[in-house]
Structure 1
Amino acid sequence: MIMHGRNPEKTKSAYEEVKAESGNEKVDYLTADFLSLAEVKTFADRIKQKYGYLDVLINNAGAQFTNKRETTVEGHEKTMVINVFAPHLLTTLLLDLLRKSASARVVTVASAAHKMGGKPDLDDIELKENYSMAKAYGLSKLYVIWIMRHFVSEMKKAGVNNIAFYTVHPGSAQTSLGRESTGALGTKIIYFLWKVMMNSVEAGAAPSIRAAVSPELEGVTGIYYGLKGEEKPSEKYYSVENEQKVWDYSSKVIERYL
């Protein structure tokens, strides 16, 4: 198992905890800040240098930010970078290793919030106009569902039959996802009241684990999983054309890092 984290100290601590509790010495960890697409590229290169194949990729890194639109050093809106462009780039960069597995899976964590971002403006994917934290987060999770759905069709066109793609949602779990978005007093109060109704981290992780290892999913691809099993993502704004627009835009963003 290869673990990823942003903070070296926290990642090493989690790595040591996993080894101690599992008794498994075949654990590794690498750090990278996925707000930088250049770091995503370096991260993938390091994996390719160390390992000959991958059986499972879980795209779990994600974030919410504030109601002030912010861009990365590479010039892209932060929410879209970490929730959409980074998993698109990382999956693309690691496809060769996944293709070398007898049966590989790509699991990407979305959110039920993909239903709450409102109508997408596909001429303004990075929300230079009408930005809000809720809109950015909701739309980013919608877009990453479409991106992973498009990977399924891309693999079929390429004749690749050994990689399955799943998107999952963890419900509201007690993680530090909202550490930046809850900076204001009002959102802190809302978060505090909501926290008592959140799922445990273990419950939130269950859909990802099931999609990654469940034998019953062998040979199945393109499924969206929630806490109670297979679900249907919202199709309100979906069309093949809209999916293609998001794929094309994201592909253009990540192109220079391939």
Structure 2
Amino acid sequence: MRVTVLGGVGAHPTARQGCGGYLIEHADARVLVDPGYATFPQLLARTPVDGIDAVYVSHGHPDHCADLQPLLRARALADPPRPPLPVHAPPGSLDRLLAIDDPGLIDQAYELHEFRPGAEFEIGPLRVATRLLPHFVPNAGARFSADGTVVAYTGDTGPSDGLVELARDADLLIAEATYPEVVNPRRAGNLSTAAEVGAYAARAGARRVLLTHLWPGTDPAAATAAARRGYDGALTVATPGLVIDLS
């Protein structure tokens, strides 16, 4: 299994990178996870629009799904149009995004598979086990597993014991770490710190951690140092183009 980072900031893109987005590859399958703002160009640098087999969206905030729309538009306007792309997302989370274009333009470009967080299903060779985690809107963290390899992904989440189970013995934990040490009081309970990520990654026995969704302008070194206090395994910060090979 291989993970390619397409972006790694939260809230909005910066001049240097887009929001979170990840390409998970295993066997002959390519699954796009949370294509946030400004990740589509990074995706196109690595694969044509018909090179994606499915999309997984953890929740409906645009920094996690906005660039699904240009992907679908490109597939719909291709000559000939590409086959419908399976899109997996919590109920209602993509309604507004899928409705912003001309009526009917992208309708044939996707097959929407809505699931309630807690569901388990398959995407090609990947087994996906989802878990409801605390956020402003329903957020589905996920464990992607195949052939004994596990990638755990939090989406956006506040503190929860469910994070430990989500990350249990994962080969890679992709974890939202918006702030290094302290969550903005207006967002308390709905987002995490790098310090918290380090603590629950250690409890879970995760073998490697990728910190992502850093607030724009956050010093990656500060996030790394905060996580390091609780976690001594392999640790890095999401940057576009980073490839993690878990083979």
Normalising TM by the smaller chain, what interval? 0.3 to 0.5
Give the TM-score normalised by the residue count of structure 1: 0.33
Structure ID, larger Rg: 1
Per residue, is there more helix in 1 or in 2?
Answer: 1
Per residue, is there more strand in 1 or in 2?
Answer: 2
